[in-house]
Amino acid sequence: MIGATIKNLRIAQGLTQIQLCEMLGITQGYLTKIENNLKNPSPELISKIAFHLKTSKLYLFREAGLINETDIPNLLDENVRLREALEHIATHNIFVTPQLEIRAYAQKTLEGN
């Protein structure tokens, strides 16, 4: 369960609940509920927790039941393709807004069109 994982990672990093709460901008009561598996953190909070506990978001997403082992290779492959598309945008001085146009261009690049 993600609560025990977060608690173990926090302790391994030598952080108190109060210290981690200050980093995350949440209350100690809320973190206690997460660590005791009474509350589930949002994906956004899981990302922040991963950053501050120096661990992988994918690992915590898996622990939270948001993804499974078979999803991870696909997500990693997608991440590589998105990075390549963004590098293409940057190296060709392509400047498009809003964000939706960037996503559309990245998708088109990923599809090879």
Per-residue pLDDT tens over the stretch 30-58: 999 999 999 999 999 999 999 999 998 88
CA distance 6 to 14: 12
Any idea which of 10-19, 39-48, 85-94 has the lowest mean pLDDT? 85-94
Token readout for 97 is 């807004």
| pTM higher than 0.75 | no
Distances (CA, A) of 89 to 77, 84, 95, 111: 19, 9, 8, 15
Residue 15 has pLDDT above 90, yes or no: yes
| Predicted local distance difference test score (pLDDT) of residue 99 | 59
- DSSP for 58-98, written as a single string: HHHHHHTTSS-TTHHHHHHHHHHHHHHHHHHHHHTT----S
pLDDT band at 27 (very low <50, low <70, confident <90, very high): very high
Q: Strand, helix or coil at 14?
A: coil
